[in-house]
Structure 1
Amino acid sequence: MSTLKYLVAYPADVQAQVAQLLQQNTLRDFLLKRYPEPHNIANDKALREYIFDLKNQYLKSSSPLSKVIYDSKLHVVRNALGTHSFVSRVQGNKLKSKNEIRISSVFKKAPEAFLNMIAVHELAHIREKEHNKAFYQLCEHMQPDYHQLEFEMRVYLTQLETHGSIYD
C-alpha cells in the first residue's frame, strides 16, 4: 500500500477501501461524483481575495496577512495543506510581524471544498501555531466538516499521484 502515503494515519480498513477503489480504477468516479467541478480561483490575486474573504468572515481581529500565493515549489507530501509562515522583525522601536500563506499550485485545479479546507487550515495558524485541540476547534468552527474534507483531500492526492487529475 505504498501508494497510500497520504493516508498512513488512517485505519487499515479505510486504507483498504481506498486501495480497492484504486485497484478497480473507480476512485476517479467516486471523487467526481462528490466534486463534479474544479474551482475557478486560478491566480494569486483571486486566491488572495478568496482567503481574505474567509479571514474577514472568521478572523477579523487577527493579525493581517501580507502575502497569499500559489507556490509551485511546495512539496505536496511534506506540505500537503500549504504553508503558513510568521516572521517578526524589529523596525525602529516597533516589532513588525508578517503572516504569509502559500498553497501548493497542485490545488489550482481542485474542488473548491479542498481549497477552502486548506485555506481554513492555514488561516487557523494565525491564531494557533500548533496542531492542538484549539487549532482543530477553530478549523471546525470555520469549516464544520473539516476532518471529512481533509480525508477526502488526501484521497484526491492519492488519485492525482496514481492516475492524474479527476478533471482531465
Structure 2
Amino acid sequence: METYELIRSRRRTLALEITKDCRVLVRAPLRLSQAKIDAFVASHEYWIQTHLEQQRQRAVSAPPPPTPEEIAALKAKAQAILPGKVAYWSAKMSVRPTGLKITTARKRYGSCSGKNSLCFSCFLMNSPEAAIDLVVVHELCHIREKNHGPRFYALLEQYLPDYKERKKLLK
C-alpha cells in the first residue's frame, strides 16, 4: 500500500488527492478509524498508482519554473505592451476600464472586476500577439457583458471574428 499523509478535519467524507510534488493526501473525518481509512486507501490503490504516474510524467515534462529575473522581464514587457493595447482596443470598442494591473497569476491570463478594472498576467507575454489581443478584447468585452453568455460572444466576435482560432494559440 502506498504511504500517505493523513489530514483529519470536521468533514464527513474521505477524499484522496495527489499533489504536484507527488504526495498522496488522504482527508478524513476526525473520528473515522484508522482501519477504515487504510481500507479506503487500499481499495483505491489502482487510482492512486495511475494518478501518481500521470503526475510524475507532468513533473518530468514540465518546464522549470521561471526565475525571479525572468518574471521581472515578463512584467516589464507587459507594462510596456499592455497599456497601449488596452488604450487602442478600448477606444475602438468605446469602453473605458477603471484600472490596469499586471500580476504573476498562473491560472488565468486576464480578468475584469465588477468595477471594470482589468488585470493581466505577465505570463500572457509568452503568447503570440494575436492571442494577447484576444485576451485584451475578451476582458474589455466584460465591461459591457459581465458573463460568458451568447451576447458576450457576439460582442467578442464583432471585434475579433477569428477569436476561436486565436484562442487555440493560448493552449
TM-score when normalising by structure 1: 0.52
Match of 2:127 in 1: 110
Match of 1:127 in 2: 144
Question: Using the alignment, how far apart are the partners of 1:151 and 1:109 within structure 2?
Answer: 14
Summarize deviations over 1:55-103 as a string: whole Å, max 9, x none: 1012x1x3x212123211x232xx2x4111123xxxxxxxxxxx21111
Query: Higher relative contact order by CA 8 Å / sep ≥ 6: 1 or 2?
Result: 1
Whether contact under 8 Å (2:97, 2:140) holds in the other structure is no
Please tell me whether Structure 1 or Structure 2 has the larger radius of gyration of its CA atoms.
Answer: 2
- AA aligned opposite 2:82: L
Whether contact under 8 Å (2:142, 2:152) holds in the other structure is yes
Whether contact under 8 Å (1:44, 1:68) holds in the other structure is no
> Are positions 1:68 and 2:100 aligned together?
yes
* Count of residues in Structure 1 that have an aligned counterpart in Structure 2: 96
Match of 1:86 in 2: 114
Match of 2:84 in 1: 49
TM-score when normalising by structure 2: 0.51
Which consecutive unaligned segments of at least 5 residues does structure 1 have?
1-40, 88-98, 155-168
SS of the aligned residue for 1:101 comes to strand
Question: Using the alignment, how far apart are the partners of 1:50 and 1:148 within structure 2?
Answer: 19
What percent identity do the matched residue pairs reach?
A: 26
Which consecutive unaligned segments of at least 5 residues does structure 2 have?
1-75
Question: Using the alignment, how far apart are the partners of 1:118 and 1:127 within structure 2?
Answer: 15
